[in-house]
C-alpha cells in the first residue's frame, strides 16, 4: 500500500458498488478539497489507475538544531511557485492546481499566481494535460476547468473573477463518491480523452 505524505488514513476497498454509490458522498462533506484530492490520488495509485501526487509545500529552512537529530527551529512557508499536483495518467503528463472558494457567484482570480500560469503554459507547450479543479464550497460542487480556458479568460478580461455560470458552462462538474472522494479522472477522460462516462 502506497503511503504518500499528505495522504489520509487508508480504508479497505469495499467493492465497486459502494465505491460508485454517490449517496455515500455525505461522508465526504466534511473533507476539504485538498484532502479529497489526496484521498482520491491514494486510491487511484492503489488500483494502478494513475500516479498523481501532491508536491510538498516548499519551506525555507533557516535554523536547524543538530544536537538531537535534525530539529528545524526556524523556517518559513514559501508560496508554491508551480502547481499543487502532478503525475502520470495513461502515459500522459498531468498537472493541475486545486482552488476552493466560499463565494457563491464567482471564482476570484487573485489566488492564482503568475508563476502558476507560466508553469501551466509550459505544461501545455510540452504536450501535457493542464487544468484547475475549482470548488464552490457553497454549492458543494467541484469543476475540472482546462488551464487554457483560465489563461484565455485572464488575457481577454479585465475582470478579477470568473462568474460561477461561466465555470458551469466551460468546465465539467466532477462527480463525488466515497472512494475516490472526487472522480476527477473520469472528468479527465471525458475532457481530454473524448470518452463519455
Q: Which residues are near its own copies by CB under 8 A? A: 2-5, 45, 48, 50-51, 53, 55-59, 61, 69-78, 81-82, 86-93, 95, 115, 118-119, 122-123, 125-128
Residue 46 or 166: the one with the smaller Cβ distance to its own copies is 46
Count the neighbouring beta carbons within 10 Å of the beta carbon of residue 23.
Answer: 9
Residue 36 or 86: the one with the smaller Cβ distance to its own copies is 86
**Angstrom distances, CA of residue 176 to CA of 7, 39, 131, 136:** 18, 12, 18, 14
Residue 6 or 141: the one with the smaller Cβ distance to its own copies is 6
Least distance from its own copies to the Cβ atom of residue 155, Å: 19
d(CA 180, CA 172): 17
Least distance from its own copies to the Cβ atom of residue 9, Å: 16
Least distance from its own copies to the Cβ atom of residue 174, Å: 21
Contact predicate 1/10, CB 8 Å: yes
Residue 123 or 134: the one with the smaller Cβ distance to its own copies is 123
Residue 36 or 82: the one with the smaller Cβ distance to its own copies is 82
Three-class DSSP category at 141: strand
Cell output for 60: 525555507
Least distance from its own copies to the Cβ atom of residue 28, Å: 25
Least distance from its own copies to the Cβ atom of residue 196, Å: 23
Residue 124 or 168: the one with the smaller Cβ distance to its own copies is 124
Strand-pair category, 92-101 with 129-136: parallel
d(CA 186, CA 194): 11
Ranges assigned E (strand) in the chain: 51-54, 59-65, 71-77, 85-89, 92-101, 106-108, 129-136, 141-146, 161-163, 172-173
Least distance from its own copies to the Cβ atom of residue 193, Å: 14
Amino acid at each position: 500500500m502506497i503511503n504518500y505524505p499528505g495522504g489520509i488514513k487508508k480504508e479497505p476497498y469495499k467493492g465497486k458498488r459502494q465505491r460508485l454509490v454517490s449517496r455515500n458522498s455525505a461522508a465526504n462533506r466534511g473533507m476539504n478539497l485538498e484532502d479529497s484530492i489526496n484521498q482520491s490520488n491514494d486510491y487511484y495509485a492503489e488500483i494502478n489507475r494513475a500516479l498523481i501526487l501532491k508536491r510538498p509545500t516548499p519551506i525555507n529552512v533557516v535554523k536547524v538544531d543538530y544536537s538531537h537529530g535534525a530539529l528545524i527551529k526556524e523556517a518559513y512557508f514559501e508560496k508554491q511557485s508551480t502547481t499543487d499536483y502532478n503525475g502520470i495518467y495513461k502515459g500522459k503528463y498531468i498537472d493541475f492546481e486545486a482552488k476552493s472558494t466560499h463565494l457563491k457567484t464567482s471564482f476570484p482570480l487573485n489566488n492564482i499566481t503568475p508563476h502558476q500560469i507560466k508553469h501551466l503554459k509550459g505544461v501545455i507547450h510540452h504536450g501535457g494535460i493542464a487544468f484547475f479543479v475549482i470548488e464552490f464550497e457553497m454549492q458543494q460542487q467541484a469543476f475540472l476547468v482546462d488551464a487554457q480556458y483560465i489563461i484565455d479568460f485572464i488575457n481577454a478580461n479585465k475582470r478579477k473573477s470568473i462568474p460561477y455560470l461561466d465555470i458551469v458552462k466551460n468546465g465539467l462538474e466532477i462527480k463525488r463518491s466515497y472512494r475516490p472522494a472526487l472522480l476527477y479522472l473520469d472528468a479527465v477522460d471525458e475532457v481530454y480523452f473524448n470518452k463519455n462516462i
